[in-house]
Amino acid sequence: MVPSVGPVPCTGETEQSELCPVDEHVLAKTTRPAPRADLIATWQQIPLYGRIVIGVVLGVAAGLALGSQAAFLSTPGKLVLRLLGALAPPLILAAIVHTFMTTHLGGPLAARLPRLLLMNTLVAITVGLTVANVIQPGRGAGLAPSEPAVETPHTANPLVAFIENVPKSLLGPLGDDGKVIGVIFVAVAFGMALRKERHRPLGTVEHLVQLVVDSLIKILHWIVAVVPLAVFGIVASIIGTEGFAQFQALGVFVLSVLLALTIQAAYYLIRIRFGSWVRPGELLRGGRDALVMAFSTASSTATMPVTYAALKDRIGLRDQSASMGALVGANFNNDGTALYEAMAALFIAQMIGMDLSMHQQLMLVLTSIIASVGAAGIPEAGLVTMTMVFTAVGLPVEFIPVLLTVDWFLDRCRTAINVMGDMNVSCLLDGKQKG
């Protein structure tokens, strides 16, 4: 008698079939996501601004509870700052190279475009510096630059040692400083960013530059994902050691930036009223979708198609005028970003009691213009380019994390002004006679 043969046992190489039955209870247990994975997925579904708000609330609670012991929680903020500082130069370089390679300039309006863009940016920076000098939002905060702690090999903080091994510049570890750990940081970051791009065809130099930009932006997204944790630590550390004085100053700073952005918006509308056939009310009504999207996404690049459609279809500008301002100008015109960076530098200088001379403020103007061009198409552009602006005028970059607590809101406001500036340029290019 031949014994009956049961179903073929399942192996790792056997496909699921009727011959390979699976216990439904076992399957449910093996496929059910882990609670930790559920928590991470839920956290990632919350918008960035929501996560930052949660970080602020928890930071205030932790600071009040821990007091001066909360000082160590500032480490994530220092790490984010270090990473942004390392990423900023190559990202700005790649963005500017890509912008000039891919931007198509031509026609009779091309000569007017640079003048309009430069004028708008200069006005924005002037407005920002004027408001900051008059209101002085950082005055009286009582913030002083922290003295670097002297660490010995026996007493060195491991967290400090870790941060010191994070490269200050993306290409720095490739030099002669001998920090192999920095090379590993760079290699791992690019290796992870390029995993899904390894089969991308690179037929032209433009494709190569685009790949570099995409990889750097992907790494930037990873850094931005840590910002809520950094905000939590920064808020807890400040509340625990300094109290609420700095946040009172930040509140005045936010109001000052909003005032400056409002003045810049009024300047746009006045220029349109006297330099174009478009009426200011028509611009606001026709372009409201683009302005709302700019505020919602905090990305003028993502808003470009909506801006172009609004200018051409709803307002009625000529195709060339609409495309020059909305598509070409958007790559160079970041007036809100330039205004914010100039005000932020002056605000921090006031907080630490550092008087910026006229020469330094002129250097601030020049650097902000360059940074605003390099920030085109970069998410969280203000954070990325801020280190360059601070360094140019001799400000300590260690205080940039203080701005993280309000940057998520002001980023949306200045992006809306960036888009309004693009609309302004298009209307002025269209002239005083309707086509």
pLDDT in tens, 206-247: 788 888 878 887 887 787 788 788 888 878 887 887 777 677
Which pLDDT score is estimated for 385? Answer: 75
Q: Domains, the chain, ranges and CATH?
A: 48-141+165-430 (1.10.3860)
List Cβ neighbours of 105 (8 Å cut-off, separation of 6 or more). Answer: 113, 328
Contact 273, 279 (CB under 8 A): yes
Between 109 and 289, whose confidence is greater? 289
Least reliable range by pLDDT among 57-71, 73-87, 276-290, 355-369:
73-87
129 φ/ψ angles, rounded to the nearest 5 degrees: -65, -35
| Encoded tokens for 416 | 């809306």
Name the residue with tokens 């478009």: 278
* Overall average pLDDT of the 130-158 stretch: 64
Per-position DSSP letters for 321-364, written without gaps between them: HHHIIIIIGGGT--HHHHHHHHHHHHHHHHHTTPPPPHHHHHHH
Between 150 and 42, whose confidence is greater? 42
Mean pLDDT of the chain: 77
Q: CA nearest 168: which of 85, 78, 81, 91?
A: 85
Contact 137, 256 (CB under 8 A): yes
In three-state secondary structure terms, 33 is coil
Q: CA nearest 424: which of 341, 321, 294, 343?
A: 321
Which pLDDT score is estimated for 315? Answer: 92
| pLDDT for residue 16 is more than 50 | no
| pLDDT for residue 64 is more than 60 | yes
| Encoded tokens for 56 | 């602020």
Whole-angstrom distance, CA of residue 199 vs CA of residue 206: 16
Between 428 and 249, whose confidence is greater? 428
List Cβ neighbours of 4 (8 Å cut-off, separation of 6 or more). Answer: none
| pLDDT for residue 423 is more than 50 | yes
What predicted TM-score, i.e. pTM, was given to this entire model?
0.70
Between 148 and 198, whose confidence is greater? 198
pLDDT band at 152 (very low <50, low <70, confident <90, very high): very low
The end-to-end CA distance of the chain, in Å, is 97
* Overall average pLDDT of the 121-126 stretch: 92
pLDDT band at 144 (very low <50, low <70, confident <90, very high): low
User: Residues of the chain with pLDDT > 70: what percent?
Assistant: 74
Whole-angstrom distance, CA of residue 414 vs CA of residue 402: 18
The winner for highest mean pLDDT among 169-173, 217-221, 243-247, 333-337 is 333-337
| pLDDT for residue 130 is more than 90 | yes
Between 11 and 179, whose confidence is greater? 179
Which pLDDT score is estimated for 278? Answer: 93
pLDDT in tens, 260-310: 999 999 999 999 999 999 999 999 999 998 998 888 777 777 788 888 889
Burial of 41 (0-12, 13-18, 19+ CB in 10 A): exposed
pLDDT band at 12 (very low <50, low <70, confident <90, very high): very low
| pLDDT for residue 40 is more than 50 | yes
pLDDT in tens, 359-377: 888 888 888 887 777 665 5
40 φ/ψ angles, rounded to the nearest 5 degrees: -65, -45
Which pLDDT score is estimated for 156? Answer: 45
Whole-angstrom distance, CA of residue 207 vs CA of residue 22: 48
Between 388 and 288, whose confidence is greater? 288
C-alpha angle 278-281-287 in degrees, rounded to nearest 5: 80
Between 193 and 128, whose confidence is greater? 128
pLDDT in tens, 174-216: 554 555 566 676 777 777 887 877 778 877 887 888 888 788 8
Between 167 and 303, whose confidence is greater? 303
Whole-angstrom distance, CA of residue 298 vs CA of residue 413: 8
Burial 322-360, CB ≥16 within 10 A → b, else e: bbbbbbbbbbbbbbbbbbbbbbbbbbbbbbbebebeeeb
pLDDT band at 155 (very low <50, low <70, confident <90, very high): very low
Helix, strand, coil percentages, rounded to 5, for the chain: 75, 0, 25
Q: CA nearest 322: which of 426, 212, 190, 205?
A: 426
